[in-house]
Chain A
Protein backbone atom coordinates (compact mmCIF):
# COMPACT_ATOMS: atom_id res chain seq x y z
CA UNK A 1 0.00 0.00 0.00
CA UNK A 2 1.35 3.42 -0.89
CA UNK A 3 1.42 6.32 1.59
CA UNK A 4 -1.50 8.05 -0.09
CA UNK A 5 -3.52 4.85 0.24
CA UNK A 6 -2.48 4.41 3.88
CA UNK A 7 -3.16 7.98 4.94
CA UNK A 8 -6.99 8.04 4.93
CA UNK A 9 -7.14 4.76 6.83
CA UNK A 10 -4.60 5.88 9.43
CA UNK A 11 -6.18 9.33 9.72
CA UNK A 12 -9.56 7.76 10.42
CA UNK A 13 -8.13 5.46 13.11
CA UNK A 14 -6.10 8.20 14.75
CA UNK A 15 -9.19 10.42 14.90
CA UNK A 16 -11.06 7.70 16.75
CA UNK A 17 -8.12 7.35 19.14
CA UNK A 18 -7.86 11.08 19.63
CA UNK A 19 -11.57 11.28 20.45
CA UNK A 20 -10.82 8.96 23.38
CA UNK A 21 -7.85 11.17 24.33
CA UNK A 22 -10.11 14.24 24.34
CA UNK A 23 -12.74 12.42 26.36
CA UNK A 24 -10.18 11.55 29.03
CA UNK A 25 -8.86 15.11 28.96
CA UNK A 26 -12.25 16.73 29.54
CA UNK A 27 -13.47 14.18 32.07
CA UNK A 28 -10.26 14.74 34.05
CA UNK A 29 -10.73 18.51 34.07
CA UNK A 30 -14.41 18.21 34.94
CA UNK A 31 -13.59 16.00 37.91
CA UNK A 32 -10.28 17.45 39.06
CA UNK A 33 -11.20 21.15 39.04
CA UNK A 34 -13.89 20.83 41.76
CA UNK A 35 -12.19 17.93 43.59
CA UNK A 36 -8.99 19.97 43.77
CA UNK A 37 -10.89 22.76 45.54
CA UNK A 38 -12.22 20.32 48.12
CA UNK A 39 -8.72 18.91 48.68
CA UNK A 40 -7.30 22.42 49.04
CA UNK A 41 -9.87 23.17 51.74
CA UNK A 42 -8.79 19.97 53.45
CA UNK A 43 -5.13 20.92 53.43
CA UNK A 44 -5.93 24.44 54.69
CA UNK A 45 -8.24 23.15 57.44
CA UNK A 46 -7.56 24.28 61.01
CA UNK A 47 -8.60 20.77 62.08
CA UNK A 48 -5.13 19.22 62.24
CA UNK A 49 -5.96 15.54 61.60
CA UNK A 50 -7.77 16.51 58.40
CA UNK A 51 -5.01 18.78 57.12
CA UNK A 52 -2.32 16.18 57.90
CA UNK A 53 -4.34 13.42 56.26
CA UNK A 54 -4.87 15.55 53.15
CA UNK A 55 -1.23 16.53 52.98
CA UNK A 56 -0.14 12.89 53.17
CA UNK A 57 -2.52 11.94 50.34
CA UNK A 58 -1.23 14.83 48.22
CA UNK A 59 2.36 13.79 48.98
CA UNK A 60 1.71 10.19 47.90
CA UNK A 61 -0.12 11.14 44.71
CA UNK A 62 2.40 13.79 43.69
CA UNK A 63 5.33 11.70 44.85
CA UNK A 64 4.68 8.66 42.67
CA UNK A 65 4.46 8.35 38.88
CA UNK A 66 0.99 8.62 37.39
CA UNK A 67 1.84 5.53 35.33
CA UNK A 68 2.26 3.42 38.48
CA UNK A 69 -0.96 4.85 39.90
CA UNK A 70 -2.84 3.83 36.75
CA UNK A 71 -1.39 0.30 36.90
CA UNK A 72 -2.33 -0.07 40.56
CA UNK A 73 -5.85 1.30 40.08
CA UNK A 74 -6.52 -0.88 37.07
CA UNK A 75 -4.85 -4.15 38.01
CA UNK A 76 -4.88 -4.27 41.80
CA UNK A 77 -8.58 -5.06 42.30
CA UNK A 78 -8.42 -8.03 39.91
CA UNK A 79 -4.91 -9.37 40.44
CA UNK A 80 -4.52 -8.80 44.19
CA UNK A 81 -8.07 -8.95 45.52
CA UNK A 82 -9.46 -11.27 42.88
CA UNK A 83 -12.27 -8.91 42.00
CA UNK A 84 -11.85 -7.05 38.74
CA UNK A 85 -14.25 -4.19 39.38
CA UNK A 86 -13.42 -2.51 36.07
CA UNK A 87 -14.49 -5.32 33.73
CA UNK A 88 -12.30 -6.12 30.76
CA UNK A 89 -13.61 -3.78 28.10
CA UNK A 90 -12.72 -0.30 26.89
CA UNK A 91 -15.36 1.31 29.11
CA UNK A 92 -13.77 -0.27 32.18
CA UNK A 93 -10.32 0.91 31.15
CA UNK A 94 -11.65 4.40 30.57
CA UNK A 95 -13.29 4.46 33.97
CA UNK A 96 -10.09 3.28 35.69
CA UNK A 97 -8.02 5.83 33.78
CA UNK A 98 -10.49 8.62 34.68
CA UNK A 99 -10.28 7.80 38.38
CA UNK A 100 -6.48 7.83 38.26
CA UNK A 101 -6.24 11.05 36.27
CA UNK A 102 -8.87 12.91 38.30
CA UNK A 103 -7.19 12.07 41.61
CA UNK A 104 -3.73 12.84 40.34
CA UNK A 105 -4.65 16.17 38.79
CA UNK A 106 -6.92 17.18 41.68
CA UNK A 107 -3.89 16.92 43.98
CA UNK A 108 -1.79 19.18 41.76
CA UNK A 109 -4.71 21.62 41.32
CA UNK A 110 -5.29 21.70 45.09
CA UNK A 111 -1.81 23.06 45.66
CA UNK A 112 -2.34 25.70 42.98
CA UNK A 113 -5.66 26.70 44.56
CA UNK A 114 -4.06 26.84 47.99
CA UNK A 115 -1.42 29.23 46.68
CA UNK A 116 -4.12 31.28 44.95
CA UNK A 117 -6.33 31.53 48.02
CA UNK A 118 -3.50 32.23 50.45
CA UNK A 119 -2.12 34.85 48.06
CA UNK A 120 -5.24 37.00 48.44
CA UNK A 121 -4.37 39.67 51.04
CA UNK A 122 -5.77 39.11 54.54
CA UNK A 123 -7.31 42.59 54.38
CA UNK A 124 -9.84 41.38 51.81
CA UNK A 125 -11.31 38.90 54.26
CA UNK A 126 -11.25 41.48 57.06
CA UNK A 127 -13.01 44.03 54.87
CA UNK A 128 -15.70 41.42 54.18
CA UNK A 129 -16.04 40.57 57.87
CA UNK A 130 -16.51 44.14 59.03
CA UNK A 131 -19.16 44.54 56.31
CA UNK A 132 -21.11 41.73 57.96
CA UNK A 133 -20.42 39.05 55.37
CA UNK A 134 -20.33 35.37 56.24
CA UNK A 135 -17.20 33.31 55.59
CA UNK A 136 -18.81 31.66 52.58
CA UNK A 137 -20.01 34.98 51.14
CA UNK A 138 -16.46 36.25 51.51
CA UNK A 139 -15.08 33.21 49.72
CA UNK A 140 -17.49 33.26 46.79
CA UNK A 141 -17.99 37.02 46.39
CA UNK A 142 -14.57 38.37 47.34
CA UNK A 143 -11.79 35.79 47.37
CA UNK A 144 -12.89 33.54 44.53
CA UNK A 145 -12.36 35.83 41.52
CA UNK A 146 -9.04 37.05 42.91
CA UNK A 147 -7.99 33.43 43.32
CA UNK A 148 -9.08 32.60 39.76
CA UNK A 149 -7.01 35.47 38.41
CA UNK A 150 -3.97 34.26 40.33
CA UNK A 151 -4.26 30.62 39.31
CA UNK A 152 -4.86 30.97 35.57
CA UNK A 153 -1.16 30.96 34.58
CA UNK A 154 -0.15 27.93 36.70
CA UNK A 155 -3.39 26.12 35.81
CA UNK A 156 -2.72 26.71 32.11
CA UNK A 157 0.59 25.00 32.60
CA UNK A 158 -1.03 21.96 34.23
CA UNK A 159 -3.76 21.79 31.60
CA UNK A 160 -1.23 21.76 28.77
CA UNK A 161 0.67 19.03 30.61
CA UNK A 162 -2.55 17.05 30.97
CA UNK A 163 -3.02 17.03 27.18
CA UNK A 164 0.18 15.03 26.83
CA UNK A 165 -0.18 13.04 30.07
CA UNK A 166 -3.33 11.39 28.72
CA UNK A 167 -0.92 9.23 26.68
CA UNK A 168 0.03 7.49 29.95
CA UNK A 169 -3.34 5.72 29.79
CA UNK A 170 -1.74 3.67 27.02
CA UNK A 171 -0.15 1.61 29.83
CA UNK A 172 -3.54 0.09 30.66
CA UNK A 173 -4.34 -0.26 26.94
CA UNK A 174 -6.83 2.57 26.77
CA UNK A 175 -7.43 3.00 23.07
CA UNK A 176 -6.32 6.60 22.86
CA UNK A 177 -4.33 8.16 20.03
CA UNK A 178 -0.93 6.61 20.87
CA UNK A 179 -2.53 3.19 21.05
CA UNK A 180 -4.15 3.83 17.67
CA UNK A 181 -0.83 4.92 16.16
CA UNK A 182 0.99 1.90 17.54
CA UNK A 183 -1.63 -0.49 16.14
CA UNK A 184 -0.22 0.04 12.65
CA UNK A 185 3.13 -1.38 13.74
CA UNK A 186 1.61 -4.65 14.89
CA UNK A 187 -0.89 -4.70 12.05
CA UNK A 188 -4.29 -3.08 11.71
CA UNK A 189 -6.70 -2.76 8.78
CA UNK A 190 -4.19 -4.29 6.39
CA UNK A 191 -1.37 -2.01 7.41
CA UNK A 192 1.53 -3.49 9.39
CA UNK A 193 5.08 -2.58 10.25
CA UNK A 194 4.76 1.16 9.66
CA UNK A 195 6.03 3.59 12.25
CA UNK A 196 4.89 6.93 10.81
CA UNK A 197 1.35 6.81 12.26
CA UNK A 198 2.84 6.67 15.77
CA UNK A 199 5.06 9.66 15.03
CA UNK A 200 2.16 11.44 13.41
CA UNK A 201 0.17 11.41 16.69
CA UNK A 202 2.47 14.21 17.87
CA UNK A 203 0.69 16.52 15.40
CA UNK A 204 -2.61 15.96 17.24
CA UNK A 205 -1.10 16.91 20.60
CA UNK A 206 0.63 19.91 19.07
CA UNK A 207 -2.50 21.30 17.43
CA UNK A 208 -4.69 20.72 20.46
CA UNK A 209 -2.24 22.28 22.92
CA UNK A 210 -1.88 25.19 20.49
CA UNK A 211 -5.63 25.79 20.59
CA UNK A 212 -5.64 25.57 24.38
CA UNK A 213 -2.74 28.00 24.65
CA UNK A 214 -4.71 30.57 22.65
CA UNK A 215 -7.92 30.02 24.67
CA UNK A 216 -6.19 30.16 28.04
CA UNK A 217 -4.29 33.26 26.94
CA UNK A 218 -7.62 34.89 26.11
CA UNK A 219 -9.00 33.97 29.52
CA UNK A 220 -5.95 35.56 31.14
CA UNK A 221 -6.54 38.72 29.08
CA UNK A 222 -10.20 38.76 30.06
CA UNK A 223 -9.25 38.81 33.72
CA UNK A 224 -7.06 41.85 33.23
CA UNK A 225 -10.02 44.14 33.89
CA UNK A 226 -8.97 44.22 37.54
CA UNK A 227 -5.69 44.10 39.37
Chain B
Protein backbone atom coordinates (compact mmCIF):
# COMPACT_ATOMS: atom_id res chain seq x y z
CA UNK B 1 0.00 0.00 0.00
CA UNK B 2 1.17 3.49 -0.74
CA UNK B 3 2.35 5.40 2.32
CA UNK B 4 1.59 8.72 0.63
CA UNK B 5 -1.27 9.42 -1.73
CA UNK B 6 -1.81 12.82 -3.27
CA UNK B 7 -4.93 13.26 -5.39
CA UNK B 8 -5.96 16.21 -7.54
CA UNK B 9 -4.21 18.79 -5.37
CA UNK B 10 -4.53 22.35 -6.61
CA UNK B 11 -3.34 25.64 -5.19
CA UNK B 12 -3.55 29.28 -6.30
CA UNK B 13 -1.97 32.42 -4.96
CA UNK B 14 -4.43 35.12 -5.98
CA UNK B 15 -4.98 34.68 -9.70
CA UNK B 16 -1.88 32.56 -10.22
CA UNK B 17 -2.45 28.82 -10.30
CA UNK B 18 0.74 27.30 -8.92
CA UNK B 19 -0.46 23.70 -8.62
CA UNK B 20 -2.89 22.14 -11.10
CA UNK B 21 -4.42 18.74 -10.46
CA UNK B 22 -1.37 17.09 -8.88
CA UNK B 23 -1.74 13.36 -8.25
CA UNK B 24 0.88 10.79 -7.34
CA UNK B 25 1.57 8.13 -4.76
CA UNK B 26 4.67 6.88 -3.04
CA UNK B 27 5.48 3.48 -1.57
CA UNK B 28 7.01 3.07 1.86
CA UNK B 29 10.81 3.15 1.83
CA UNK B 30 10.99 4.70 -1.62
CA UNK B 31 12.41 8.00 -2.76
CA UNK B 32 10.57 10.44 -4.99
CA UNK B 33 12.43 13.28 -6.66
CA UNK B 34 10.63 16.37 -7.89
CA UNK B 35 12.48 18.15 -10.66
CA UNK B 36 11.62 21.13 -12.80
CA UNK B 37 12.58 24.74 -13.33
CA UNK B 38 12.13 27.41 -10.68
CA UNK B 39 8.52 28.47 -10.33
CA UNK B 40 7.16 25.15 -11.53
CA UNK B 41 5.45 24.52 -8.19
CA UNK B 42 7.77 21.90 -6.66
CA UNK B 43 8.38 23.84 -3.46
CA UNK B 44 4.72 24.79 -3.10
CA UNK B 45 3.78 21.12 -3.39
CA UNK B 46 6.24 20.27 -0.62
CA UNK B 47 4.87 23.09 1.53
CA UNK B 48 1.34 21.76 1.00
CA UNK B 49 2.42 18.34 2.23
CA UNK B 50 3.83 19.98 5.37
CA UNK B 51 0.74 22.15 5.87
CA UNK B 52 2.71 25.34 5.50
CA UNK B 53 0.34 26.09 2.64
CA UNK B 54 -3.24 24.93 2.44
CA UNK B 55 -4.28 23.41 -0.90
CA UNK B 56 -7.45 24.78 -2.51
CA UNK B 57 -8.52 21.37 -3.68
CA UNK B 58 -7.58 17.72 -3.49
CA UNK B 59 -6.82 14.99 -0.99
CA UNK B 60 -3.68 14.05 0.92
CA UNK B 61 -3.50 10.63 2.56
CA UNK B 62 -0.75 9.07 4.67
CA UNK B 63 -0.95 5.37 5.56
CA UNK B 64 -4.52 5.40 4.35
CA UNK B 65 -5.51 8.15 6.79
CA UNK B 66 -6.99 11.21 5.12
CA UNK B 67 -4.99 14.15 6.45
CA UNK B 68 -6.49 16.69 4.13
CA UNK B 69 -9.57 16.73 1.96
CA UNK B 70 -10.60 20.08 0.56
CA UNK B 71 -14.24 18.93 0.44
CA UNK B 72 -14.31 17.71 4.04
CA UNK B 73 -14.30 20.60 6.53
CA UNK B 74 -13.45 18.17 9.36
CA UNK B 75 -9.97 17.70 7.93
CA UNK B 76 -9.34 21.42 7.56
CA UNK B 77 -9.47 22.26 11.24
CA UNK B 78 -6.54 24.34 12.43
CA UNK B 79 -6.27 22.49 15.75
CA UNK B 80 -5.64 19.15 14.05
CA UNK B 81 -2.97 20.43 11.69
CA UNK B 82 -0.20 20.37 14.25
CA UNK B 83 -0.58 16.64 14.81
CA UNK B 84 -0.83 15.96 11.08
CA UNK B 85 2.38 17.83 10.37
CA UNK B 86 4.27 15.25 12.40
CA UNK B 87 3.73 12.68 9.64
CA UNK B 88 6.12 14.79 7.59
CA UNK B 89 9.57 16.18 8.21
CA UNK B 90 10.94 19.07 6.17
CA UNK B 91 14.51 20.07 5.50
CA UNK B 92 14.76 23.61 4.17
CA UNK B 93 17.02 25.09 1.54
CA UNK B 94 18.29 27.66 4.06
CA UNK B 95 18.54 25.14 6.95
CA UNK B 96 16.55 27.34 9.37
CA UNK B 97 18.42 26.03 12.38
CA UNK B 98 17.68 27.85 15.63
CA UNK B 99 20.78 30.04 16.08
CA UNK B 100 20.60 30.29 19.87
CA UNK B 101 20.80 26.53 20.36
CA UNK B 102 23.71 24.14 19.86
CA UNK B 103 23.52 21.37 17.29
CA UNK B 104 22.42 18.94 20.00
CA UNK B 105 19.80 21.33 21.40
CA UNK B 106 18.44 21.94 17.90
CA UNK B 107 17.88 18.23 17.48
CA UNK B 108 16.36 17.75 20.95
CA UNK B 109 14.09 20.79 21.30
CA UNK B 110 10.95 19.71 19.44
CA UNK B 111 10.96 16.19 20.86
CA UNK B 112 11.24 17.55 24.39
CA UNK B 113 8.37 19.94 23.87
CA UNK B 114 6.21 17.09 22.60
CA UNK B 115 7.13 14.89 25.55
CA UNK B 116 6.32 17.69 27.96
CA UNK B 117 2.70 17.52 26.87
CA UNK B 118 2.40 13.91 27.98
CA UNK B 119 0.85 13.33 31.42
CA UNK B 120 3.70 11.27 32.86
CA UNK B 121 6.43 13.75 31.84
CA UNK B 122 6.96 15.24 35.29
CA UNK B 123 7.45 11.93 37.00
CA UNK B 124 9.88 10.58 34.41
CA UNK B 125 11.55 13.84 33.42
CA UNK B 126 15.18 12.77 33.85
CA UNK B 127 14.68 9.43 32.17
CA UNK B 128 12.87 10.99 29.19
CA UNK B 129 15.48 13.70 28.83
CA UNK B 130 18.31 11.17 28.86
CA UNK B 131 16.54 9.07 26.25
CA UNK B 132 15.98 12.07 23.95
CA UNK B 133 19.60 13.12 24.33
CA UNK B 134 20.82 9.62 23.55
CA UNK B 135 18.75 9.48 20.38
CA UNK B 136 19.85 12.98 19.34
CA UNK B 137 23.52 12.11 19.81
CA UNK B 138 23.05 8.93 17.80
CA UNK B 139 21.44 10.90 14.97
CA UNK B 140 24.22 13.48 14.91
CA UNK B 141 26.71 10.63 14.96
CA UNK B 142 24.96 9.10 11.97
CA UNK B 143 25.29 12.47 10.23
CA UNK B 144 29.02 12.43 10.93
CA UNK B 145 28.79 15.26 13.44
CA UNK B 146 29.65 13.59 16.74
CA UNK B 147 32.44 16.12 17.34
CA UNK B 148 30.12 19.06 16.58
CA UNK B 149 27.25 18.47 19.01
CA UNK B 150 28.07 21.48 21.20
CA UNK B 151 28.70 23.94 18.38
CA UNK B 152 26.26 26.71 17.56
CA UNK B 153 25.02 26.98 13.96
CA UNK B 154 27.22 30.00 13.21
CA UNK B 155 30.27 27.89 14.08
CA UNK B 156 29.35 25.25 11.50
CA UNK B 157 29.79 25.12 7.74
CA UNK B 158 26.72 25.14 5.51
CA UNK B 159 27.03 21.44 4.90
CA UNK B 160 27.27 20.73 8.62
CA UNK B 161 24.26 22.97 9.29
CA UNK B 162 22.21 21.08 6.75
CA UNK B 163 23.19 17.78 8.31
CA UNK B 164 22.11 19.06 11.73
CA UNK B 165 18.82 20.10 10.11
CA UNK B 166 18.38 16.59 8.72
CA UNK B 167 19.04 15.11 12.17
CA UNK B 168 16.54 17.57 13.66
CA UNK B 169 13.87 16.43 11.21
CA UNK B 170 14.66 12.74 11.79
CA UNK B 171 14.42 13.15 15.57
CA UNK B 172 10.63 13.20 15.34
CA UNK B 173 10.62 10.00 13.26
CA UNK B 174 8.41 11.31 10.46
CA UNK B 175 6.76 8.86 8.07
CA UNK B 176 7.95 10.90 5.12
CA UNK B 177 10.98 13.16 5.06
CA UNK B 178 10.82 16.07 2.61
CA UNK B 179 13.76 18.04 1.28
CA UNK B 180 13.37 21.44 -0.33
CA UNK B 181 16.44 21.95 -2.50
CA UNK B 182 18.69 20.84 0.36
CA UNK B 183 21.93 21.70 -1.41
CA UNK B 184 21.02 24.86 -3.32
CA UNK B 185 22.58 27.11 -0.68
CA UNK B 186 25.83 25.12 -0.61
CA UNK B 187 28.97 25.23 -2.70
CA UNK B 188 29.79 22.08 -4.74
CA UNK B 189 32.22 20.74 -2.17
CA UNK B 190 29.70 20.87 0.66
CA UNK B 191 26.89 19.63 -1.59
CA UNK B 192 28.63 16.25 -1.79
CA UNK B 193 28.62 15.61 1.96
CA UNK B 194 24.91 16.40 2.26
CA UNK B 195 23.98 14.25 -0.73
CA UNK B 196 25.99 11.40 0.77
CA UNK B 197 23.94 11.62 3.95
CA UNK B 198 20.66 11.62 2.00
CA UNK B 199 21.88 8.66 -0.06
CA UNK B 200 22.62 6.86 3.21
CA UNK B 201 19.06 7.49 4.35
CA UNK B 202 17.73 6.16 1.04
CA UNK B 203 19.76 2.99 1.53
CA UNK B 204 18.10 2.56 4.93
CA UNK B 205 14.73 2.81 3.18
CA UNK B 206 13.69 6.17 4.55
CA UNK B 207 10.65 7.39 2.65
CA UNK B 208 11.62 10.70 1.11
CA UNK B 209 10.34 13.38 -1.23
CA UNK B 210 13.20 15.46 -2.58
CA UNK B 211 12.97 18.68 -4.53
CA UNK B 212 16.32 19.07 -6.21
CA UNK B 213 18.28 20.52 -9.10
CA UNK B 214 20.98 17.85 -8.73
CA UNK B 215 19.99 15.67 -11.68
CA UNK B 216 22.72 13.08 -11.31
CA UNK B 217 21.78 12.66 -7.67
CA UNK B 218 18.05 12.43 -8.40
CA UNK B 219 18.73 9.76 -10.95
CA UNK B 220 20.95 7.81 -8.60
CA UNK B 221 18.85 7.94 -5.45
CA UNK B 222 15.22 7.94 -6.59
CA UNK B 223 12.85 5.14 -7.37
CA UNK B 224 10.42 7.62 -8.87
CA UNK B 225 10.91 10.97 -10.60
CA UNK B 226 8.31 13.62 -11.29
CA UNK B 227 9.01 16.45 -13.70
CA UNK B 228 6.88 19.49 -13.03
CA UNK B 229 6.24 22.41 -15.31
CA UNK B 230 3.98 25.40 -14.70
CA UNK B 231 2.17 23.70 -11.87
CA UNK B 232 1.47 20.44 -13.68
CA UNK B 233 3.06 17.02 -13.54
CA UNK B 234 4.42 16.66 -17.06
CA UNK B 235 6.30 13.44 -16.66
CA UNK B 236 6.26 10.71 -14.05
CA UNK B 237 8.15 7.45 -13.89
CA UNK B 238 11.32 5.64 -12.95
CA UNK B 239 14.58 7.59 -13.32
CA UNK B 240 15.32 5.59 -16.49
CA UNK B 241 12.00 6.55 -18.06
CA UNK B 242 12.23 10.23 -17.20
CA UNK B 243 15.92 10.78 -17.82
CA UNK B 244 16.51 8.38 -20.75
CA UNK B 245 13.22 8.35 -22.56
CA UNK B 246 11.28 11.49 -21.73
CA UNK B 247 8.01 11.56 -23.64
CA UNK B 248 7.46 15.32 -23.68
CA UNK B 249 9.42 17.88 -25.65
CA UNK B 250 9.49 20.20 -22.61
CA UNK B 251 11.18 17.52 -20.48
CA UNK B 252 13.86 16.96 -23.10
CA UNK B 253 14.46 20.67 -23.34
CA UNK B 254 14.76 20.96 -19.53
CA UNK B 255 17.07 17.96 -19.17
CA UNK B 256 19.30 19.02 -22.06
CA UNK B 257 20.26 22.13 -20.14
CA UNK B 258 21.66 19.93 -17.39
CA UNK B 259 23.38 17.37 -19.56
CA UNK B 260 25.11 20.13 -21.49
CA UNK B 261 26.49 21.17 -18.10
Contacts and interface: CB of A to CB of B under 8 A. Distances in A.
Interface string A145-157: 1100100000000
**A interface: dominant SS:** helix
A33 B155 CA distance: 32
Contacts of B88: 130
B95 to A, nearest CB: 8
A134 B92 contact: no
Given A130-B90, A131-B172, A141-B109, A124 B96 contact: yes
A126 to B, nearest CB: 6
B85 A129 contact: yes
B168 interface: yes
Contacts of A137: 113
Nearest to A149: B100
A227 B154 CA distance: 6
Contact of A133 (B90, B100, B113): B113
B100 A145 contact: yes
B36 interface: no
Contacts of A132: 82-83, 85-86, 110, 113-114, 172
Nearest to B49: A130
Given A133-B113, A225-B152, A127 B52 contact: no
Interface residues of B, number: 28
B168 A131 contact: yes
A131 B177 CA distance: 12
A26 B172 CA distance: 44
Interface in B88-113: 88-90, 92, 94, 96-101, 109-110, 113
Contacts of B100: 145-146, 149, 225-226
B10 interface: no
A227 B110 CA distance: 21
A226 B154 CA distance: 7
A123 B97 CA distance: 9
Contacts of A227: 99, 152-154
Interface of A: 121, 123-124, 126-134, 137, 141-142, 145-146, 149, 225-227
Interface of B: 50-52, 82-83, 85-86, 88-90, 92, 94, 96-101, 109-110, 113-114, 152-154, 168-169, 172
